[in-house]
């Protein structure tokens, strides 16, 4: 349905490799070795979010499949259109029997002009409207595009973390979110039809949720956790849950 692969980035790496074979590269600045830095030309940059409260009646199971539907059908097309203009983004999922209940959130860092377009796309999404009319979701709320309270890239990271982790964690979790969304896209790309009613769509994403969970359960330890541990030199770490 959509592609988030940045071919220019791959091409740039290839060119650097060719040049390196012919001459000694000058000493690189710190920022040249990591992801591009924040685009200072953005208008009123900052973190915004759109959150969806999902209906979760008492004595019923949480419908996590609705998270997948929202990510793929509502946010997916937005990412396809705006991925070059969003500096960092991620998904957040939560469900607990408290005042917040079951919520799915799309959190993104961009300029206010881009944020306005994203928020408008969320608010006018036909799929979101149908989900709300069918009482699958109760409501959706977006932080206004002109909100400028969270300007720093580290402002939505956990306050208990040290500054370097707070600053770079958004890059990590964006990759995680992108991988999760791409798995969903692979699974449902040929099975979801625009003519489906909402319950049929929810059923398809319930099947996708089971398949993604199966992939995570069987391969997550090696594909994700083992290789993450390898990058950090197989050093031990404190696990809290």
Q: SS3 for 39-82, per residue? A: CCCCCCCEEEEEEEEECCCCCCCCCCHHHHHHHHHHHHHHHHHH
> What are the pLDDT digits (tens) for 99-136?
999 999 999 999 999 999 999 999 999 999 999 999 99
The CATH class that applies to domain 46-231 reads alpha beta
Domain boundaries defined on the chain? 46-231
* pTM, entire model: 0.84
Is 85 exposed, middle or buried, given 0-12, 13-18 or 19+ CB atoms closer than 10 A? middle
User: For a pLDDT cut of 90, what percent of the chain falls above it?
Assistant: 74
Which of 38-47, 101-110, 137-146 has the lowest average pLDDT?
Answer: 38-47
**pLDDT confidence of residue 190:** 81
> What are the pLDDT digits (tens) for 60-98?
999 999 999 999 999 999 999 999 999 999 999 999 999
User: For a pLDDT cut of 70, what percent of the chain falls above it?
Assistant: 82
């Amino acid at each position: 349905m959509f592609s988030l692969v940045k071919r220019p980035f791959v091409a740039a790496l290839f060119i650097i490799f060719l040049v390196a074979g012919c001459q000694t590269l000058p000493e690189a600045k710190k920022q040249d070795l990591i992801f591009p830095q924040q685009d200072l030309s953005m208008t009123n940059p900052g973190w915004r979010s759109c959150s969806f409260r999902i209906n979760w009646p008492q004595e019923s199971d949480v419908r996590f499949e609705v998270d997948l539907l929202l990510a793929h059908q509502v946010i997916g097309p937005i990412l396809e259109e705006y991925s070059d203009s969003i500096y960092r983004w991620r998904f957040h999922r939560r469900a607990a029997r408290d005042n917040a209940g079951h919520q799915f959130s799309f959190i993104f860092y961009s300029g206010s002009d881009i944020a306005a377009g994203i928020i408008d796309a969320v608010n006018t999404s036909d799929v979101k409207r149908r989900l709300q009319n069918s009482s699958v979701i109760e409501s959706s709320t977006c932080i206004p595009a002109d909100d400028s309270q969270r300007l720093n890239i580290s402002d939505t990271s956990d306050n208990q973390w040290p500054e370097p982790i707070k600053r770079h964690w958004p890059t990590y979790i964006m990759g995680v979110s992108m991988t999760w969304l791409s798995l969903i896209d692979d699974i449902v790309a040929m099975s979801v039809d625009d003519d489906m009613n909402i319950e049929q769509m929810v059923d398809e994403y319930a099947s996708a949720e089971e398949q993604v969970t199966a992939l995570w359960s069987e391969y997550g330890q090696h594909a994700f956790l083992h290789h993450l541990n390898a990058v950090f030199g197989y050093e031990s770490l404190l696990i809290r849950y």
